[in-house]
Structure 1
Amino acid sequence: MSDMNLLGSVDLISSNTLALIYLISASLFILGLKGLSSPKSARRGNFIAAFGMILAIAASLTKIHPNGNQITLIVIGVIIGSVIGGFSARKVKMTAMPQMVAAFNGVGGGAAATVAVIEYLRLSVANRSVVITALSSILSVAIGGISFSGSIIAFAKLQEILTGVPITYKGERFINAAVFLAIVVIGIYLIAFGTGLAILGVLLLLAIILGVAFVLPIGGADMPVVISLLNAFTGLAVAASGFVLGNTVLIVGGTLVGASGTLLTKMMSDSMGRSIRNVLFASVGKVIDQPSGASNSTTGGTSSVRTGNAEDIGVLLAYSKKVIVVPGYGLAVAQAQHTVRDLARALEAKGAEVTYAIHPVAGRMPGHMNVLLAEADVPYEQLREMDEINDEFKDADVVLVVGANDVVNPAARNEPSSPIYGMPILNADAAKNVVFLKRSMRPGFAGVDNPLLYAPNTIMLFGDAKDSLLALLASVKAS
């Protein structure tokens, strides 16, 4: 016969067996995370981690409550979540992937906070709340609330429901600090004395307010870093919930997410040549208006934009021996990944060497460009990271910049007064010819004018990226 545990659930498997299954699941999480480190193994890594999660959920369901209604609710919840997740993953466009990541991340933080609230109240009622459990509950509520509301604002900025320009107000840092201090004081009070739902609700409300106030002043260009940091917050909230529930797999999984998210945030900040503090509190992204033909030191004085047509640029590409493609978010917006692949194949058929230069913060989320191009069956060997390819730009006949801007802006190297000064960039300006595919002269996410647009070796081809690439493809084939 199965034994009843202290919570009134039925153990269908022994504690040792459950611990072994959790250990296997945790190992699969680690292997899956390792697989995500390379485009070649990312798909396999994703499946390995997903299988580990299925195994962990199945093991958790073996500790069921004899009340049939609760079992029914659990099954309904699993079905609803699976349908929503599966449908979203299949239908979401690559351009909307960052928004989906932000939304799902927020749901994870909210779920962790909700579980912690329920468990804290249950333990308080049972009058057996210990310090470590109470502390874990408070941390999960606070961090989960911040992640939930912050992710909603990040989603709204990425979806352009809210402006990508930093939303600031006088005294914002003082107010944020006061809210944070209030959260700490209330948390200490709850741990020391315990209380009912009201004060715990105040703590959760303050955490939600802090999440909103924390993300609003951050510009759209820095949203990838914010999403990564909020993802780390959600991982920590889940790990804290694991301590509350005594669930090993939640502790391990949440810690992995928290640690990897923190490391990724640091790596992305380094790739932008800025500290995490600068990313979070500098409010970079306010558009600096600069008229066309403005004077800038990079171009050596007043310059005008040089435009071209697809026919002439296609001929230039057709006779090039080395072409480097720099993809950006504009490529994703235009859904032009397959077209740029076809253009690359046409150039290769004429004897050209084609590679893709991937900046660490290109797109709107980590790895965005890698996933986008892999979806179009671009060979992994052609995807080159910034440090690996930067020395090759000087040998390139043409650099084709498709929907990118800030990641090739030489102001980051040459203009100490620029908000993006110090950010490592792709050395596109060193090439013999630079072709920009853009809709307009509008600045990139950072809101900073790009001197490379006015350089004498730059040619602008205005229009939708996909239409421009199709026209270039036709011209290359005809040459």
Structure 2
Amino acid sequence: MAWLPVLIKSCYFLAALLFILGLKRMSSPRTARGGIVWAGYGMLLAVLATFFLPDMHNRGLIIAAVLIGVSAAWWSGKRVAMTAMPQMVALYNGMGGGAAAAIGAVELIGYVRELGLLHALPDTSPLRPEAWAVNGLPPTLTPVELALGVLGALIGAVSFSGSLIAFAKLQGWLDKRFVFAGQRAVNLLLLAAAVVVGIMLASGHASVPLIVAFFALALLFGLLMTLPIGGADMPVVISLYNAFTGLAVAFEGFVLGNEAMIIAGMVVGAAGTLLTQLMAKAMNRSIGNVLFGSFGAAAGEAQAIEGAQKPIDASDAAVMMAYAERVVIVPGYGLAVAQAQHKVWEFAQLLIKRGVKVKFAIHPVAGRMPGHMNVLLAEAGVPYDLIADMDDINPEFPSTDVALVIGANDVVNPLAKTDPASPIYGMPILDVGNAKHVIVIKRGRGTGFAGIENALFYADNTRMLYGDGQAAVGELVTAVKDIDA
């Protein structure tokens, strides 16, 4: 069947094309759903084509693994709440990095086996050559393939352990930040040690103890790199590890000679890298600071906040917005927790019917992952032309009668502009404080995910509507309906 390799490569090419077109469609909320479906078809095609590779072994085990993975993903995808979507993304991303690292480990151990370095192991060892797949030894890796395999294994291992820590932080299983003296130096030493051991492996001086040490160092570096990062910076971390996973998959695809893995990994790596740069810019962080810094740490004594939080009743807030000319609604993670997106859109529709000009303002890192708020609003059916990003909406706040903030905290905190000692100093924010009136729906008087007091809540033009997001918006809906009755 001389035509089979050509057919397989054609399927890989078509799968890669579907990946690229799917990613392109994901760039717009209007076509994102279709883009995900296209990319899914591409992955299905690539997986099916792989089963027909002439040197494929253990197809039964592979089918079993695919069925287990698909079943677990289907079950968790159906059950996971929208508020838990960021940690699910972090977990699945880590699995991708771990898979790439596992491929690298298998290739490295196979390379050691080829060199005959495992023949001295005891007869009962599972690493004996007799315990490996039959049908002959794999071809010797070229120096370039060996180097890329090591690099992919390093990046994949870091992405795996780092993503697991990110998952644990978002899930609330770990403290928000873990810092110790000399942490940056320790991280750099760990990375340097992993690179040195990797160079030794790539230069042909491979052994099982060296492979174990390499992966231990890489996994530990990913863990310690993520532990000091605060929750406010988690969107940057998620996009960074997404880029890492893509690069790791691309490198391992080159080692395996799998075109689909190479192209898919490169696309994901490039998209993740660009997204990381955009997120870092939105947080006013450098990529180096993301990688090695305990970013989110304060530089000195925080600026004192004067004044007091001033409460407002739902009925008064509703009247204020019902008779306004322009209202801007700013959603945050609290909206996701309260699952208030549908009520918010119902309230916005009531205002629009009264002739109020309503817009939704989205900060690039609102929520726990890039695009989190956009997904929530799309789920509620909010038209895309009513959703504005930070750069477009900020000039409109001075002419806005009321800015309604629901569950957002750090992304509207004016201390980012005024307090050099603040952990978020320099981060671009939504300038809601420039609106004529600001109403903040908040469950209580606590701080945001970054643990910082918000000066906006104490401003003269701000009123606080305390309560659960969905219940508070429901009261606003009722109050507006009473006005129209």
TM-score, normalised relative to structure 2: 0.91
In 2, the alpha carbon distance for the partners of 1:287 and 1:472 equals: 40
2:257 aligned with 1:246, yes or no? yes
Where does residue 49 of structure 1 map in the other structure? 39
* TM superposition shift of 1:123: 3.2
Tell me the equivalent position of 1:273. Answer: 284
CA offset at residue 453 of structure 1?
0.8
Measured after TM superposition, the shift of residue 66 of structure 1 is 7.7
How many residues in Structure 1 have an aligned counterpart in Structure 2? 458
Query: CA-to-partner distance for each residue in 1:431-474, whole Å, 9 max, x for gaps?
Result: 11100011122222232222111111100011111111111111
Q: What RMSD over aligned residues (CA atoms) do the two structures have, in Å?
A: 1.9
* Residue range with higher mean Cα deviation, 382-391 or 114-123: 114-123
Q: Which amino acid aligns with 1:75?
A: I
Do the aligned partners of residues 365 and 126 (structure 1) sit closer, same or farther apart at CA in structure 2, a change above 3 Å counting?
same
Per the alignment, residue 147 of structure 2 pairs with 135
1:161 is paired with a residue whose SS is coil
CA separation in 2, counterparts of 1:99 and 1:242? Answer: 27
Q: Residue 184 of structure 1 aligns to which amino acid in structure 2? A: V
Taking the aligned partners of 2:216 and 2:54, their CA distance within structure 1 comes to 32
Letter in 2 for 1:229: L
- Partners of 1:272 and 1:116 lie apart in 2 by 34
Q: Distance in 1 between matches of 2:247 and 2:389?
A: 30
Match of 1:350 among 354, 376, 379: 354
Q: How far apart are residue 82 of structure 1 and its match?
A: 1.2
1:387 aligns with 391
Report the AA paired with residue 130 of structure 1: T
One-letter identity of the residue aligned with 1:141:
A
Query: Secondary structure in 2 aligned to 1:193?
Result: coil
Q: State the secondary structure of the residue aligned to 2:404.
A: strand
**Contact persistence 2:243–2:269 (CA under 8 A):** yes
Cα distance change of structure 1 residues 194 and 380 upon mapping to structure 2, 3 Å threshold: same
Corresponding residue to 1:95 among 83, 100, 122: 83
Distance 1:135 1:247 in 2: 17
Q: CA deviation at 1:286?
A: 6.6
Q: Could you tell me how far apart the structure 1 residues matched to 2:384 and 2:92 are?
A: 28
Could you say if the C-alpha distance between residues 429 and 100 of structure 1 is closer, same or farther in structure 2, counting changes exceeding 3 Å? same
In 1, Cα distance between equivalents of 2:206 and 2:473? 63
> Deviation of residue 418 (structure 1)?
2.8
Q: 2:95 aligns with which of 107, 115, 120?
A: 107
Q: Whole-Å Cα distance in 2 between the matches of residues 57 and 273 of structure 1?
A: 40
Query: Does residue 1:119 correspond to 2:123, yes or no?
Result: no
Equivalent in the alignment of 2:68:
80
Instruction: Please give the secondary structure, in 1, of the residue aligned with 2:180.
Output: coil
Q: After superposition, what is the alpha-carbon deviation per residue over 1:113-138, rounded to whole angstroms, capped at 9, x for unaligned?
A: 11111122223323423211211221
Deviation sequence 1:33-65 (CA, Å, 0-9, x none): 111111111111111111111111111111155
2:344 to 335, 340, 365: 340
Whole-Å separation in 2 of the counterparts to 1:367 and 1:359: 9
CA contact (8 A) 1:286 1:447 kept: no
Q: Which amino acid aligns with 1:134?
A: L
1:126-174 Cα shifts (integer Å, max 9, x gaps)? 342321121122112211111111001000100010011x211112122
Provide closer, same or farther for how the CA distance between residues 402 and 335 of structure 1 changes in structure 2, counting only shifts above 3 A.
same
Contact 1:221 1:285 in 2 (8 A): no
| Structure 2 counterpart of 1:31 | 21
TM superposition shift of 1:251: 0.8
Contact 1:437 1:463 in 2 (8 A): yes
Letter in 2 for 1:325: I
Matching of residue 314 in structure 1 with residue 302 in structure 2: no
The 1-side partners of 2:225 and 2:275 are apart by 19
SS of 1:22's equivalent in the other structure is: helix
Q: Are residues 289 and 436 of structure 1, via their aligned partners in 2, closer, same or farther at CA, if it must alter by over 3 Å?
A: farther
Q: Would the aligned equivalents of 1:32 and 1:47 in 2 still touch at CA under 8 Å?
A: yes
1:8 alignment partner in structure 2: none
* Alignment partner, residue 192 of structure 2: 181
Aligned residue type for 2:74:
G
Q: Aligned partner of 2:229: which letter?
A: I
TM superposition score normalised by structure 1: 0.92
Q: Output aligned runs, 1:154-165, within 5 Å.
A: 154-164=166-176
Contact residue 285 and residue 447 of structure 1 kept, 8 A: no
% identical equivalent positions: 48
In structure 2, C-alpha distance between the alignment counterparts of 1:137 and 1:275, rounded to whole Å: 28
Name the counterpart of 1:452.
456
1:439–1:462 CA contact under 8 A, matched in 2: yes
> Bigger CA drift: 183-192 or 335-344?
183-192
